C-alpha cells in the first residue's frame, strides 16, 4: 500500500481503515485493528518515522495505537479549544465525529463547520475596523474606541455556532470595499456601541447572536449617511416627537379632569333639591334647567376636546408619512413608536366617550327625577323622555 507523505493525510487514512476500539487512558491517541490487506510492519515503520507511534501495538492481532498530528480533532469542541483556531480557520483539518476533512477552498461542509468558518470570518472582519487588537491570557481581544471603550473577545463554543445569514454581502458592503471606507468603519463602531450599550466587554458569541440586527442597523445607517442623514439623529428626532405627541394626547383628557368632578356634584344637587309636587313646579324646573345648561356646556367641552384629539392624530399621521417618504430605508424601525401613539389616541377616544355617556346619563336622570317629583309615573315618564329625545341631540360630533 502506498502511504501519503503528509501526516494529516496519513492519520485520516489510517483512522478510516482501522476497526476502531475504545482506548483507555490518554484520549490523544487513536486505536484500532488493521484490516488484513494492510501490512502491519509498514504502518508501524511509517508511524515510527514520523513520531506518531502509540504506546503499544500487537503484530499478532494487528492492534495499533497512534498519536494524531496537529489539525486532527475528535470534535468541533476540540477544534475550538485553542483561541487562535476560533478566529482563524486552519487551511486544513479533520473532525472525527463529523468524519469531515476540510481543505481550504472547500465549497461543501457539514452545517456546524460552515457556521464555524463564518464566525471566524466575522471576527476577521471586525478586526479590520477595530482600533486595536491584543491578546489577554491567550484570548484574542478587539478594542473599539469611542465615547467609551468596548472590547470584543473571541470567546464562543460549539453551542454558540449560529447561521450568519448575509455575512458575505455584509463583507462586500463594509469590509472588502473602497467606497466611504472611513465612514463605514465609524458606522460599524457606532452600531456596536449601540448594541452593547452600557457594557465594556462583549464576546464573539454575543456579536454572532445579534448579527442580523448588527448588519441591518449598519446598512440602515449607511443609507442615511448617503442621504446626508444620521440614523441616530433620525431616531432622536422620532423619540422627541413621540414624547411630545404622547404628552399632547394625554393632555386632551387631563385638561377636563377638574370639570368631570362636577358630574357627581350635579347629580347630588338635582337629587337633593327637587321636591315632590302636583305637576311641574317652578323650583324643580329651575333645577332641571340648571342640569340642562351643565350638560350642554359639558357636551361643548367634550366636542372641543374631541376636535383637539383629531388634530393631534392628523399631525401624527402626517409625521409618519414624512418618515416613510424621506427615510424609507429605516421607517420600519420606528413603526412601533407610531403604533404606541395610535394606541394612546384610541384610548383617549374611549375616555371621552365614557365622559359623554356619563353626561347623558346624568341628564336623563335629572329629567327622570323632574317628571317623578311632578307626580307622573312610569308611562308618563317614558312618553316624556321619548319627546325629549326628539328635541335634543347630544352626539358630540
Q: What pLDDT, in 10s, does the model give residues 30-50? A: 888 898 888 898 899 899 988
Up-side HSE of residue 161: CA atoms within 13 Å toward CB? 20
Q: 337-361, pLDDT tens digit by residue?
A: 888 888 888 988 888 888 888 888 8
Q: Are strands 201-203 and 149-153 parallel, antiparallel or unpaired?
A: parallel
**Distance between CA atoms of 313 and 249, rounded to whole angstroms?**
9
Up-side HSE of residue 135: CA atoms within 13 Å toward CB? 6
pLDDT of residue 302: 83
Q: What is the pTM for the complete model shown?
A: 0.59
Tell me the average confidence (pLDDT) per consecutive run of 10 residues in the chain, 397 residues long.
Answer: 82 85 62 87 89 87 90 91 92 91 88 94 94 84 90 93 93 89 90 91 94 92 74 80 86 72 63 66 76 80 86 89 77 84 88 84 78 60 57 50
- Look-up of cell digits 377638574: 258
CA 380 to chain centre: 64
In order, the DSSP letters of 264-323 are: HHHHHHHHHH----SS--HHHHHHHHHHHHHHHHHHHHHHHHHHHHHHHHHHHHHHHHHH
Q: 48-76, pLDDT tens digit by residue?
A: 988 888 888 888 889 988 988 999 998 89
In order, the DSSP letters of 173-186 are: IIIS--SSHHHHHH
- Look-up of cell digits 483556531: 85
pLDDT of residue 352: 85
Cβ count near 292 (within 10 Å): 13
pLDDT of residue 76: 92
**Distance between CA atoms of 15 and 291, rounded to whole angstroms?**
98
Domain ranges of the chain: 7-69, 115-226, 231-391
Q: Is the dihedral of CA 362, 364, 370, 376 positive or negative?
A: negative
pLDDT of residue 394: 46
> Could you tell me the three cell numbers for 376?
307622573
Helix (H, G, I), strand (E, B) or coil at 153: strand
According to DSSP, the residues that pair with 143 across neighbouring strands are 132, 151
> If residue 353 lies in a helix (H) or strand (E), which one and from where to where?
helix 335-373
Domain 7-69 has CATH 1.10.940: no
pLDDT of residue 351: 86
> Could you tell me the three cell numbers for 396?
358630540
pLDDT of residue 191: 93
* Helical H segments across 196-273, by residue range: 204-209, 211-226, 231-254, 257-260, 262-273
Cβ count near 360 (within 10 Å): 17
Q: 271-299, pLDDT tens digit by residue?
A: 566 667 666 677 777 777 877 787 888 88
> If residue 139 lies in a helix (H) or strand (E), which one and from where to where?
strand 139-145
- In sequence order, the 6+-apart residues with CB closer than 8 A to the CB of 145 are 131, 132, 189
The pairs formed by 358-362 with CB atoms below 8 angstroms and a separation of 24 or more are 358/260, 358/263, 359/263, 359/295, 359/298, 359/299, 359/302, 359/394, 360/295, 360/394, 362/263, 362/266, 362/267, 362/270, 362/291, 362/295
**Distance between CA atoms of 152 and 193, rounded to whole angstroms?**
11
Largest CA distance in the chain: 130
- In sequence order, the 6+-apart residues with CB closer than 8 A to the CB of 242 are 337, 338, 340, 341
The DSSP secondary-structure symbol of 391 reads H
Amino acid at each position: 500500500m502506498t502511504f501519503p507523505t503528509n501526516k494529516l493525510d496519513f492519520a485520516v487514512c489510517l483512522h478510516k481503515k482501522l476497526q476502531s476500539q475504545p482506548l483507555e487512558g490518554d484520549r490523544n491517541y487513536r486505536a484500532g485493528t488493521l484490516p488484513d490487506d494492510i501490512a502491519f510492519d509498514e504502518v508501524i515503520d511509517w508511524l515510527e518515522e514520523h513520531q506518531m507511534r502509540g504506546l503499544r501495538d500487537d503484530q499478532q492481532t494487528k492492534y495499533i495505537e497512534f498519536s494524531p498530528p496537529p489539525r486532527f480533532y475528535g470534535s468541533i469542541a476540540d477544534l475550538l479549544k485553542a483561541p487562535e483556531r476560533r478566529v482563524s480557520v486552519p487551511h486544513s483539518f479533520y473532525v472525527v465525529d463529523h468524519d469531515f476533512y476540510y481543505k481550504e477552498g472547500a465549497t461543501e461542509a457539514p452545517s456546524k463547520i460552515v457556521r464555524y468558518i463564518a464566525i471566524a470570518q466575522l471576527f476577521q472582519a471586525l478586526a479590520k475596523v477595530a482600533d486595536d487588537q491584543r491578546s489577554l491570557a491567550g484570548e484574542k481581544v478587539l478594542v473599539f474606541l469611542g465615547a467609551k471603550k468596548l472590547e470584543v473577545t473571541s470567546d464562543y463554543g460549539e453551542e454558540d455556532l449560529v447561521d450568519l445569514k448575509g455575512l458575505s454581502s455584509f463583507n462586500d458592503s463594509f469590509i472588502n470595499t473602497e467606497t466611504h471606507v472611513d465612514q463605514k468603519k465609524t458606522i460599524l463602531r457606532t452600531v456596536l456601541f449601540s448594541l452593547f450599550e452600557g457594557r465594556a466587554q462583549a464576546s464573539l458569541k454575543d456579536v454572532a447572536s445579534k448579527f442580523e440586527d448588527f448588519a441591518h442597523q449598519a446598512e440602515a445607517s449607511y443609507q442615511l449617511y448617503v442621504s446626508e442623514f444620521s440614523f441616530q439623529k433620525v431616531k432622536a428626532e422620532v423619540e422627541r416627537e413621540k414624547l411630545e405627541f404622547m404628552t399632547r394626547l394625554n393632555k386632551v383628557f387631563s385638561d377636563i379632569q377638574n370639570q368631570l368632578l362636577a358630574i357627581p356634584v350635579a347629580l347630588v344637587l338635582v337629587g337633593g333639591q327637587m321636591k315632590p309636587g302636583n305637576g311641574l313646579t317652578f323650583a324643580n324646573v329651575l333645577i332641571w334647567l340648571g342640569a340642562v345648561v351643565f350638560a350642554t356646556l359639558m357636551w361643548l367641552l367634550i366636542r372641543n376636546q374631541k376636535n383637539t384629539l383629531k388634530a393631534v392624530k392628523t399631525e401624527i399621521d402626517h409625521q409618519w408619512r414624512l418618515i416613510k417618504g424621506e427615510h424609507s430605508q429605516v421607517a420600519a424601525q420606528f413603526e412601533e413608536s407610531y403604533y404606541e401613539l395610535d394606541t394612546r389616541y384610541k384610548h383617549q377616544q374611549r375616555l371621552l366617550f365614557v365622559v359623554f355617556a356619563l353626561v347623558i346619563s346624568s341628564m336623563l336622570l335629572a329629567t327622570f327625577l323632574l317628571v317623578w317629583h311632578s307626580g307622573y309615573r312610569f308611562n308618563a315618564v317614558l312618553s316624556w323622555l321619548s319627546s325629549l329625545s326628539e328635541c335634543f341631540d347630544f352626539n358630540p360630533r
